[in-house]
Amino acid sequence: MAFHKKEEFTQKEQDLAAFAKAMSHPARISILKMLAQRNECICGEIVDLLPLAQSTVSQHLKELKNAGLISGTVEGPRSCYCINWKAFEKFNSEFNTLFNNLKIKNEKACC
Amino acid sequence: MAFHKKEEFTQKEQDLAAFAKAMSHPARISILKMLAQRNECICGEIVDLLPLAQSTVSQHLKELKNAGLISGTVEGPRSCYCINWKAFEKFNSEFNTLFNNLKIKNEKACC
DNA sequence: CTTATTAATCGTATATTTGCGATATAAGAT
DNA sequence: ATCTTATATCGCAAATATACGATTAATAAG
């Protein structure tokens, strides 16, 4: 059976993996950079700067939104996307915690 | 056409995305934790602790290896996997740079 | 009310990922 | 040389991700 077994891992592992997954496409990293530079962005600007169709960009935005990394409001023909700083920093610190936990241990590899 | 357009983004964006992708599954995060705790690990120990078949674990190890996050040597019926600290810290600092670049900007969202 | 504009959603095609069992491989033990 | 053990690889199936064009929805402008 090809069911994914993600639910059999700890919540923290799942959360971190979900965060990493949201960042696992260069288009989404690019979008996050844009949002950070301007503090807000409408979808159209992002579409203009990415080599992707409007519907594809919209999908990437949706994924970032589902992951909680950005928030967005749409008023008819206009949208406004922003970075969700709170969630972003939470994940950032969780990531750092993981890295630091790893780094505490012996730093020379055996192989 | 469903070709991926990853190659149309900057190298840094692609590298970061590839790193995130390697971390985007709870099993692989779990494996990294194990490797860090013991500083080395044979595949069998990992298989015992994960709810996955041996062949699946082997695949995850291969992905982590391809991403450059771990190194491993196999001598016949025995293996030795270790975290590749150098690569790991390089990505960690790149990630932090990204986060910091983001955080420099205004921290209150408009939406 | 009609039209234009912007973005979300739907449908679809293709690629990739995840997972497993079966098999192959490689070295140590007998 | 054969058997055992540990791991990688192969082949397959199902799920998910990526991308696009077409359509829909929602508002603003006329």
Mean pLDDT to the nearest integer, B9-31: 95
Of A82-91, B60-69, B92-101, minimum mean pLDDT range: B92-101
What pTM was estimated for this model as a whole? 0.89
Contact (CB, 8 A) for A19 and A95: yes
B64: left (phi over 0), alpha (psi -120 to 50) or beta: alpha
Instruction: Give Cα B73 distance to the centre of its chain.
Output: 18
What is the chain B residue with the closest CA to A10? B26
pLDDT tens, position by position, A22-67: 999 999 999 999 998 887 889 999 999 999 999 999 999 999 999 9
Interface touch B25/A8, C-beta < 8 Å:
no
Q: What is the pLDDT of residue B107?
A: 57
Most confidently modeled range among A52-56, A74-78, B100-104? A52-56
Mean pLDDT to the nearest integer, A84-99: 81
pLDDT tens, position by position, B34-79: 998 887 899 999 999 999 999 999 999 999 999 999 999 888 778 9
Q: Which of A3, A19, A29 is best to mutate for the B interface (most B CBs within 10 A)?
A: A29
What are the structure tokens assigned to B50, written together? 């994960």
**Using a CB-CB distance cutoff of 8 angstroms, which residues of chain B are in contact with residue A16?**
23, 26, 29
